[in-house]
Amino acid sequence: MPSELGEDAIADLVAELARLRQEHRDLDAAIDALEVSVAGDQLQIQRLKKRKLVLRDRISYVEDQVTPDIIA
């Protein structure tokens, strides 16, 4: 929970979030480049897409850790 995390822990999570988002964008660009290329390696594209999904899950988890729970 964010209220239980110290400022250093939150700063670490925010930094990790920025890194994960950048890696996600980089994978997007790599996938696009491979799909456009004539000899697009379908296995490599599949692996990159799986990695991208793992990153998306991690991004969601870290966002949940940083964002305070608000009970409506």
Give the pLDDT confidence score for residue 2 in this predicted structure: 47
Q: What is the pLDDT of residue 72?
A: 57
Whether residue 47 lies inside any domain: the answer is yes
Residue 71 belongs to some domain of the structure: no
Sites in the chain below the pLDDT cut of 50? 1-2
Question: Model-level pTM?
Answer: 0.78
The pLDDT value given to residue 30: 93
Residues 10/68, Cβ–Cβ less than 8 Å: no
Provide the residue range defining the domain that includes 28: 2-66
Q: The tokens of 52 are what?
A: 């991208």
- Whether residue 72 is contained in a domain is answered as no
Q: Write down how long the chain is.
A: 72
Structural domains counted in the chain: 1
* Encoded tokens for 42: 């379908």
